[in-house]
Structure 1
Amino acid sequence: MDSAFFLIVCIIVVVAAGFIQGLTSFGFALIAMPFLAKVIPLQQAVPIVVILSLCTNLMVIVDARRHVDLKKIWILILSSLAAAPLGTYLLLLLDERLLKAFAGVFIILVAMLQLLGKSFPVKREKLAFVPVGILSGLLNGSISMSGPPVALFLSNQRVGKDTFRANITAYGIILNVITICTYAYSGMLIKPVFTYSLWLVPSMLIGVFIGIKAIRRLNDQWFRRIALWVIMLSGLWTVISSL
């Protein structure tokens, strides 16, 4: 592939992914990974996306820091981290395609119900974070899909856009840091990973900046609908990738 065309494609994709992340606080990997994995070796594309995701999350948390409620989500974080190793073990027991298909269909159905106006608010929210965190950890450890279960739960609880963005971003930062440490230990953070990441950071910054500016023009209702559509796309892509 021509190097100039390669660079242009990567920049456009990362700007779009950064915009979605700045707008909804998740979804960067959903947009960036399928394209970058086509032009960069997968062993390099995966850590590049995680590094850029960490950068996007840090930008968003600066904007949403006043709304972070760690007292509420610490249970979610701990239960997710505890379940992640079990997710890896689950991957050894079950076929990856089966896991992806099941998770994708489940996410699509739940997101669709919420888009149709069906929600089931949980009164004991802190307690509910335990199974949500476990599900997120299992999916993260098995098929690297931690965000949608948390996003669906926050949407089901009708959480306002500021609290939604702040809490899911704080959660994402912790997972990003742990994942990057894992990659460093396994020797995946090689020179091309840092080179590509540095080249793509400016376009990522532009996308996130535009997304953060755009979110201020949306009310909670429109934000929730956009977030649910992004979740549905992630579920649809997961199903397609399992075929």
Structure 2
Amino acid sequence: MNTETALFLVAGALAGGFINGLSGTGMALFSIGFYLAVLDPARAVAVVALMSILVGIQGLWVVRGALRAQPGRALRFVIPGLVGVPLGVPLLDVIEAGTLRVTIAVILVFYGGYFAFRKTLPVFTRRTPKTDVCVGFVGGVLGGAAAISGAVLSMWVSLRPWSKAETRAVLQPFNVAVLATTVMLLLFRGAYDARTFSAMAVTAPMVVVGAQIGIIVFRRLSDNAFRRLIILMTLVLGLGIMVSEIA
């Protein structure tokens, strides 16, 4: 592995690790561009998925109290999300993935752009277990079909009157569960070979460092600031998807 490749891997790990440590999501969006510059798509996704799980485990520890307090809330999203992942993969046979990604990106940009700069944020207070299940399922389907599992969930949780720990206690386990499923599918497809493991050996220490810095910042945010961060992330996510499809 040459120096240029190592530098790209380290930069991607630090950027993605910091964002995921800060918000509980966004690892792939902020790191995949660096990895694709030096790895083929299959290996790049394989590294990002496994590194996202590594970061996610750190994030789960941070919000372990919120998870123990209301485990059913996270499961309402996670279980239907896991059902949706394998159902989303066959959609590639009937729906072009790029078209689907751009459609979702437009929704994210309008949503994030509209709410990101408002003085007051809307709050959806009543319990909505059926809607939660639907959001989790759709997120899983989108993850299998276009690798954007966190898009719909991020929009939904940003409208809930939950504390930052409660919000992250939904986002983090959902992302870890969906990405663990992705890793298993990639493993069966042979994406984890010697070159992939070599790349992970470089990125793993750096992604841990980046995540820890992000977690430190997360702990300093107020609940309202964290809600605004999630909304801003949806805007950035939408713009990132659009740029990746146009490039």
User: Same fold by TM-score, threshold 0.5 exceeded?
Assistant: yes
* Percent identity of equivalent pairs: 23
1:67 aligns with 66
Q: 2:140 aligns with which of 124, 137, 141?
A: 137
CA contact (8 A) 2:85 2:144 kept: yes
Alpha-carbon distance in 2 for matches of 1:30, 1:223: 19
1:197 shift after superposition = 0.6
2:245 aligns with 242
1:200 shift after superposition = 0.9
> What does the per-residue CA deviation read over 1:180-227, in whole Å, with 9 as the maximum and x for residues that have no partner?
111122222112111211111111111011111111111112112222
> What does the per-residue CA deviation read over 1:3-44, in whole Å, with 9 as the maximum and x for residues that have no partner?
223212321221121111111011110001112111111111
Q: 2:153 aligns with which of 134, 150, 153?
A: 150
1:118 shift after superposition = 5.3
What TM-score, normalized to structure 1? Answer: 0.93
1:127 aligns with 130
Letter matched to residue 38 of structure 2: V
- Are residue 193 (structure 1) and residue 192 (structure 2) matched? no
Letter matched to residue 72 of structure 1: R
Superposition map of 1:215-234 within 5 A: 215-234=218-237
Q: Alignment partner of 1:100: what SS?
A: helix
Alpha-carbon distance in 2 for matches of 1:208, 1:174: 18
The list of structure 1 runs, each at least 4 consecutive aligned residues, that deviate by more than 4 angstroms after superposition, is: none
Rate the CA distance shift 1:35–1:78 in 2: closer, same or farther, 3 A.
Answer: same
1:120 shift after superposition = 5.8
Q: Alignment partner of 1:39: what SS?
A: coil
Structure 1 regions of 5+ residues with no counterpart? Answer: none
Q: Alignment partner of 2:124: what SS?
A: coil
Letter matched to residue 121 of structure 1: F
CA contact (8 A) 1:113 1:119 kept: no
Alpha-carbon distance in 2 for matches of 1:73, 1:54: 17
- Are residue 178 (structure 1) and residue 181 (structure 2) matched? yes
Rate the CA distance shift 1:228–1:84 in 2: closer, same or farther, 3 A.
Answer: same
1:178 shift after superposition = 1.5
CA contact (8 A) 1:70 1:167 kept: no
Alpha-carbon distance in 1 for matches of 2:65, 2:207: 23
Superposition map of 1:9-28 within 5 A: 9-28=8-27
Alpha-carbon distance in 2 for matches of 1:96, 1:184: 22
1:130 shift after superposition = 1.9
- Are residue 96 (structure 1) and residue 135 (structure 2) matched? no
Alpha-carbon distance in 2 for matches of 1:75, 1:164: 13
Deviates more, 1:10-19 or 1:139-148: 10-19
Alpha-carbon distance in 2 for matches of 1:183, 1:38: 20
Q: Alignment partner of 1:156: what SS?
A: coil
Q: Alignment partner of 1:189: what SS?
A: coil
Q: Alignment partner of 2:25: what SS?
A: coil
Deviates more, 1:11-20 or 1:77-86: 77-86
Rate the CA distance shift 1:165–1:118 in 2: closer, same or farther, 3 A.
Answer: closer
